[in-house]
Structure 1
Amino acid sequence: MAPGSRYPIPAQTHRVEEEIKRSRFITTLGYTPTVEAARDFIAQVSAEFADASHNCWAYVVGPPGSTAQVGMSDAGEPHGTAGRPMLTVLLHSGVGDVTAVVTRYFGGTLLGKGGLVKAYSGGVQLALASLPTVEKVPTVTLQVVLDYAAVTPVKRLLPAYEAEILDEGYAAQVTYRLKVPEEQASPLVQALTELTHGQAEVDVLG
């Protein structure tokens, strides 16, 4: 995915529950834009279900399918039966910045390795199927300094680039702080330069 691409992220924390051979599986999905946020979310859910047999987890930080920042744990289940299958489902989900915790209350019937893989990956699939998502739009902040004569044409130009004025200052010249989607930043800078015949000063603040 190109930098600045938009992608779906969880709109809120979302939970589903199912029973498989008397074991209760509770899957909780959350929006986690950083590895710290993912770890905090895992700790929070694990604390909520501190009495559970297992709290297995997996996370993907970054755009859907990106493996730069991922993590997983079987949390005491047989190796490879929980964390890895959960991570595989997340990586193919088309959703980014997401953490899944599957909590298991053991019901007395062993599921076997295949059964566990199916239960843990199935829990994540089930939760994803009904997960509300929103679009994440990476943005940058621009500072623009221009002459008063350019104010009206510049204000007319901004909506086409989805630019939002965060604040404005009026002195000898006009200063705007703009929030703009990352992918629109350089086209907007170009448009401002053309519109003001190179008079506008534009700085990227981050």
Structure 2
Amino acid sequence: MRRDYPVPAGFLERETDVKKSRFIAWVAPVSSRDDVRCWLERARQAHPDARHVCWAYQIGRPGSAAEAAMNDDGEPSGTAGKPILNVIQHKDMGDVLVIVIRYFGGIKLGAGGLVRAYAGAAERVLSAVDRVIQQARVTARVRLPFADEQRLRHWCEVHGAEIGAVTYGSQVSAEVSLPVDRQPDFSAFCEAQKLDYSFET
């Protein structure tokens, strides 16, 4: 089960200039690697002439993220992605991607200057973005006859639950992610339908 935690409310862009180099910082909410890829493609399409598109993200609860990654995109190792990720980790925010797009201005900043510029760009956009609370969710595993699958899907649609992995054998096995406050309703539904279910702890 995941506790509630803050995530970006939406996309935001902020720009800073450091010694004639432009640093354009984007922040966006992400919940998967596919989301990250989509945002990176969007950044490169929007800024095809940029020298560097550096980024970092973390998915999951701050302090115990399920996944995190970073990329320097041609800048000296450790001068772009790592400073961006460090700022993200100090902001107590999950499910967040920060991309910093750099247009080189002709003046070299040096390793320390780059670290300060990328961290500063990330800090500026993360401080400005609104936050919303990611609602705590729980994962249930349920086994059911084929005839009941549509009924389960309908319940999920109505109650804000999402069906994840589904496997078909002698019965249907499904993972269901649902808001914690819907857990008693889901239990009641499964028991009424005589379905075999359990919640991940």
In the superposition, the TM-score normalised over structure 2's length comes to: 0.72
3-state SS of 2:132 partner: strand
**Structure (1 or 2) with the larger CA radius of gyration:** 1
**C-alpha distance after superposition, 1:63-117 (max 9, x if no partner):** 2233431111100101100011111111221111111110111111111101100
Q: What is the RMSD computed on CA atoms of the aligned residues?
A: 3.1
Q: How many residues are paired up?
A: 169
3-state SS of 2:44 partner: helix
Whole-Å separation in 2 of the counterparts to 1:102 and 1:9: 19
- The gaps in structure 1 that reach 5 residues or longer are 143-165, 169-176, 194-198
Residue 62 of structure 2 aligns with an amino acid whose one-letter code is P
**Paired residues of 2:13 and 2:24 also in contact (CA < 8 A):** yes
* Residue 126 of structure 2 corresponds to residue 128 of structure 1: yes
**Paired residues of 2:15 and 2:24 also in contact (CA < 8 A):** yes
- The gaps in structure 2 that reach 5 residues or longer are 141-152, 162-177
1:159-178 mapped onto 2 (5 Å cutoff): 178=159
The 1:189/1:28 distance shift into structure 2, 3 A limit, reads closer
Residue 184 of structure 1 aligns with an amino acid whose one-letter code is D
Give the corresponding residue for 2:41.
43
**Paired residues of 2:2 and 2:138 also in contact (CA < 8 A):** no
Whole-Å separation in 2 of the counterparts to 1:141 and 1:115: 45
**Paired residues of 1:7 and 1:136 also in contact (CA < 8 A):** yes
Structure 1 residue 201 displacement after superposition? 5.8
**C-alpha distance after superposition, 1:121-157 (max 9, x if no partner):** 1111110111012111144699xxxxxxxxxxxxxxx
* Residue 56 of structure 2 corresponds to residue 58 of structure 1: yes
3-state SS of 2:111 partner: helix
